[in-house]
Structure 1
């Protein structure tokens, strides 16, 4: 008999959510994570309607909503003028909660499900399909061992070892950019986002719980890792004088987009960032993974009961959803690039159009991933 009915490689928010969904139906799940401790970085913050639906299904919707800040809408600004303003309907609202808290709530939920076990500090070094089961080679505390499972889900991120071992191509998609980011205290309350699409490049300002703001600045030259340069760029582009505490330093990141050429190989399935890398600009990646996990959980539960690896519908749905999300992200990034002259005028006209009454509801649906 295999050691698990399902083994999940990767205890990020997507892998943990899938584990909760499976375990609450009684499926035996082992979650293997190479890190010994939790990842305390803030990282993803936005929980869109598809993500909220998946969290509700996992029994976490109420807990998350109690801690999260609810976004009511936002404005797109250029040169001090509002180009477009949107207010979200109740069904479009986005929750804001730092990923470290979402992660902690998922682990807490998993700990109360008796058919699930989390194995931190377990690095998966090899995976082999063996007909009726999959064999995983693990390394932990200097010791190598093997476990088996009826099915394996690779939720091990953009640099997925399992995807590489299975020989699945990792194909680039349009849309890339460099950015600098920092979370800092802010003395004004609010539940609206400000997007400054300025001639010199994007500045995003997101409200966070507990009196914080996240600042994201487009950084094509990758020079804004220095806190003084970061503050100066915000002032130069928006006129706002950010008071950044001495212990806060910007984090630089490169946004890129890729998709795996296929999502299944025998009894192994790719999920989340292992299946598709979607730019964090627009906040879609984690929610895309959660929505896919929600669908995959039903397919896996059926596969465990029937013994058949049938994931074609999951693969089709996940690939279509990723393609739509990446198209949106590429568009968002194009709107935030430096622009001047006719290019700036055309870009601002497009933004104004999207904020007009006939298109406002559709634009809000696009931003909040309704229909994903």
Structure 2
């Protein structure tokens, strides 16, 4: 048997790999050579690989709603600790990865000056540590820095909604329905209006459509069959209206992610997959954040080595680019394992503690 969360693990594992491939098709001489050799393949990775972020947004909303719902009765007191816990979950590993990126940038600067920051200031580093780099229009020190900030903003917004409802003198049954209603309204506002305003992409409301969709999916699963079907029909209608208003491929990816989550019923996987495939998928999912953080320094180093060993004037040497890309991809996955084991996991053990949670549930 596979757990209810297995499709989330599978989606997270695949999305993390697509993000790495996307960045490998964007930055450096390896990407340039790959575009010359395989324009259709690398063009697809360039245009569509980044949409895997929508998978992370839907999963993030689902898991955050799951964790916060388990803490609902203690939210009035536990909200600050939960917010600090989320910050600690994201930022210390992120800043460690920024450090690795700056070290790699220093090493490759003589070869690839166009890929490294021209100058690094203490205020720039502090802005990253406070997750305010995009809000302050500060140059990012590593790829994906925007997502870490948005993830924290989205969690904070969902926590604020649930905390505010908990502070109101409402019956438990009323709050159970009011929370999805408020989150649904924010989700609709994002999908129909704010997500169409590109200048808002540094703010949570721009992305809350996909994140709120994940939260609403979690709540729908706990409803009675008739209410669940009605809720899913409303969500489907909302997504259809958003796409009719302005077709956005990223919303299609978010909707497909939701479909995969809802169609999974925790049934049996093939015996061969349980023996040989399930554990690797879960391992890839466990290391997904580490991979997301550490792959860019690896990308820089491999690109620098490729640039140093090849001559751009000789088109025949482009043939080495696929090998370089595969090496960068493999090394990124290998580097994620020690990064998770020696940096991310120990930091998780030191994070601030909220009130005791239901067994088996934790803020992701």
TM-score normalized by structure 2? 0.32
Which protein has greater RCO, CA pairs closer than 8 Å, 6+ apart?
A: 2
- Flag the structure with higher helix content: 2
Between structures 1 and 2, the one with greater strand share: 1
